[in-house]
């Protein structure tokens, strides 16, 4: 009896199955991995009924374009409004955005975690969010508003033991997690414990850096965020009308035409916006607490960074424009670095988010904003930008701050202040500076 035919048929069936798998773009290993991850339900379309009726005659492509455009204009208008309300309102908005982004990511994790009916995941997640925010905001208040903290007795006590209190709060949550462990599900619970902490690292840490940038002056908050928004809009516009060449597989709709068009548009936008904002103290001065008025103020003598200066043009540009010099704010030169990062590296935050969503087979993090998805979908690039700006300020901009040193000196005991005074006096005398100062005063 000949067994060659059944064997051949079996081999052909295996080859056909393999080709089908490759055609679908899913390998055997991927199917095994993905089979253990529940698919998160796609949120329903919540486009306002008014827009649905007004745009009912358009194709889905153009309908989405109009919905995104209208909602983008609404969000930009709201952004201008909160800028008008001042830095404290901006700080509260950052906190609200942080909480919403955290909720969207944790909800995805809960969709996986809840299927096993394991306890305390959401409760512990929000508890750890509270602990981390208490630590970071406490550090920020102590650092930037030292005088206010030292003046109020409860705040002074909380400031003195701030890190111990923060560690105690976190340790309590850690013990609660250990007590919540359920037999046969240890691995999943530790996986979700890591999920929460990575989310805290991405969301809370970055929003804390945004607030630090804000206290350096609102221009360090507004220009970087606006550059990311501009790049997102212009990349979408160039990609929508001229896009032909795919940029990256994680985001099939992203194109090289959109990427390049967004880059040059953002550079020009950053230079122009910086020129306008650098002329106003409200935008360039750090946020400080005034002891006399018991209020936060934004008023100072602008630094050299925000003073117009003449710059010689290269010979190539001089021959084209006919100008020998150009008058710019130094901050405009720094804005080129900020807008370049927003255009080149910033989109990788979006690519990272796209990979995350593809891993869980979801289109958006939520459906909070029609046509845009969730809050996290709009701020995925902002977090990389916040870290870059904070590092950029620390590396190239920020110097010693005399006002902070004086605040700390005034908090010392009288004998400690006298000791520092005598040490400083001896140092200045040794350098030969003190007699000159005394003669000038006389």
Residues 243 and 150 placed together within one structural domain of the fold: yes
2: left (phi over 0), alpha (psi -120 to 50) or beta: beta
Instruction: Report whether 99 contacts 211 (CB < 8 A).
Output: no
Residues 424 and 370 placed together within one structural domain of the fold: no
Q: Dig out the tokens for 74 from the structure.
A: 């609404």
> What is the DSSP track for 152-195?
SHHHHHHHHTHHHHHHHHHHHHHHHHHHT--TT-HHHHHHHHHH
Q: Dig out the tokens for 155 from the structure.
A: 């705040």
Residues 6+ apart with CB under 8 A from 46: 367, 370
At residue 69, the pLDDT reads 76
Q: Which of 276, 265, 280 lies closest to 229, judged by CA?
A: 265
Instruction: Report CA-CA distances (Å) from 186 to 32, 178, 182.
Output: 21, 10, 6
Residues 95 and 233 placed together within one structural domain of the fold: yes
Instruction: Report whether 238 contacts 203 (CB < 8 A).
Output: no
Residues 359 and 369 placed together within one structural domain of the fold: yes
Instruction: Report whether 296 contacts 287 (CB < 8 A).
Output: yes
DSSP secondary structure code for residue 373 in this structure: B
Q: Which of 254, 251, 138, 137 lies closest to 204, judged by CA?
A: 137
Residues 70 and 107 placed together within one structural domain of the fold: yes
What are the average pLDDT values for consecutive 10-residue runs of the chain, which has 442 residues? Answer: 44 43 41 46 56 66 72 81 85 90 85 69 91 92 77 84 95 95 86 90 88 91 92 89 88 89 96 94 85 75 91 84 89 95 90 81 72 70 87 87 73 85 86 66 54
DSSP run (H or E) holding 328? strand 325-328
Specify if 28 maps to a domain.
no
Residues 337 and 427 placed together within one structural domain of the fold: no
Residues 425 and 338 placed together within one structural domain of the fold: no
User: Going along 263-303, which residue ranges are E strands?
Assistant: 288-290, 295-297
Range(s) of the domain holding residue 422: 401-434
Q: Dig out the tokens for 219 from the structure.
A: 């221009």
User: Going along 379-419, which residue ranges are E strands?
Assistant: none
At residue 10, the pLDDT reads 40
At residue 259, the pLDDT reads 93
Residues 408 and 396 placed together within one structural domain of the fold: no
Residues 243 and 180 placed together within one structural domain of the fold: yes
Per 3-state DSSP, what percentage of the chain is helix, strand, and coil (rounded to 5)? 70, 5, 20
> What is the DSSP track for 14-30?
HHHHHHHHHHHT--HHH
Q: Which of 85, 205, 193, 72 lies closest to 133, judged by CA?
A: 205
At residue 440, the pLDDT reads 53
Specify if 321 maps to a domain.
no
Specify if 257 maps to a domain.
yes
pTM as predicted: 0.77
At residue 15, the pLDDT reads 42
At residue 271, the pLDDT reads 95
Residues 143 and 171 placed together within one structural domain of the fold: yes
**Cβ neighbourhood burial of 218 (10 Å; 0-12, 13-18, 19+):** buried
Question: How many domains does the structure of the chain reveal?
Answer: 2
Instruction: Report CA-CA distances (Å) from 98 to 203, 274, 316, 374, 419.
Output: 6, 26, 47, 12, 45
At residue 23, the pLDDT reads 41
Residues 246 and 337 placed together within one structural domain of the fold: yes
Specify if 295 maps to a domain.
no
Instruction: Report whether 302 contacts 284 (CB < 8 A).
Output: yes
Distance of alpha carbon 362 from alpha carbon 251, whole angstroms: 13
Specify if 35 maps to a domain.
no
Specify if 345 maps to a domain.
yes
Specify if 19 maps to a domain.
no
Per DSSP, the three-state class of 259 is: helix
Q: Dig out the tokens for 150 from the structure.
A: 């030292």
Residues 204 and 123 placed together within one structural domain of the fold: yes
Specify if 249 maps to a domain.
yes
């Amino acid at each position: 009896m000949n067994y060659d035919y059944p064997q051949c048929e079996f081999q052909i069936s295996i080859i056909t199955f393999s080709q089908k798998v490759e055609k679908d773009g899913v390998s055997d290993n991927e199917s095994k991995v993905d089979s253990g991850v529940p698919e998160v339900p796609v949120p329903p379309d919540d486009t306002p009924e008014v827009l649905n009726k007004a745009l009912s005659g358009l194709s889905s492509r153009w309908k989405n374009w109009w919905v995104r455009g209208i909602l983008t204009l609404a969000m930009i208008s709201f952004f201008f409004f909160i800028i008008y309300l001042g830095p404290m309102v901006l700080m509260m908005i950052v906190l609200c955005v942080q909480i919403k982004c955290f909720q969207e990511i944790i909800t995805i994790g809960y969709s996986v975690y809840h299927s096993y009916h394991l306890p305390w995941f959401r409760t512990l997640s929000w508890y750890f969010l509270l602990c981390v925010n208490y630590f970071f905001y406490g550090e920020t208040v102590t650092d930037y508003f030292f005088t206010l903290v030292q003046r109020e007795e409860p705040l002074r006590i909380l400031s003195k033991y701030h890190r111990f209190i923060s560690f105690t709060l976190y340790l309590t949550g850690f013990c609660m997690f250990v007590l919540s462990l359920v037999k046969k599900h240890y691995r999943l619970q530790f996986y979700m414990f890591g999920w929460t902490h990575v989310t805290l690292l991405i969301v809370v840490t970055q929003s804390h850096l945004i607030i630090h940038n804000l206290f350096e002056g609102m221009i360090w908050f507004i220009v970087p965020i606006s550059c990311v928004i501009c790049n997102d809009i212009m990349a979408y516009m160039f990609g929508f009308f001229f896009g032909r060449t795919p940029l990256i597989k994680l985001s099939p709709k992203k194109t090289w035409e959109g990427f390049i068009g967004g880059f040059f548009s953002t550079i020009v936008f950053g230079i122009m916006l910086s020129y306008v904002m650098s002329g106003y103290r409200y935008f360039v001065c750090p946020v400080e607490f005034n002891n006399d008025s018991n209020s936060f103020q934004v008023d100072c003598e602008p630094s050299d960074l925000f003073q117009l200066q003449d710059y010689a043009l290269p010979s190539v540009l001089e021959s084209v424009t006919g100008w020998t010099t150009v008058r710019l704010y130094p901050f405009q030169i720094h804005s080129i670095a900020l807008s370049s990062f927003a255009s080149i590296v910033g989109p990788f935050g979006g690519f990272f988010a796209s990979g995350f969503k593809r891993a869980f087979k979801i289109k958006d993090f939520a459906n909070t904003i029609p046509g845009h998805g969730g809050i996290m979908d709009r701020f995925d690039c902002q977090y990389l930008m916040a870290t870059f700006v904070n590092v950029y300020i620390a590396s190239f901009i920020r110097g010693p701050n005399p006002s902070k040193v004086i605040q700390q000196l005034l908090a010392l005991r009288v004998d400690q202040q006298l000791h520092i005074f005598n040490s400083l006096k001896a140092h200045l005398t040794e350098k030969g500076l003190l007699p000159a100062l005394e003669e000038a005063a006389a």
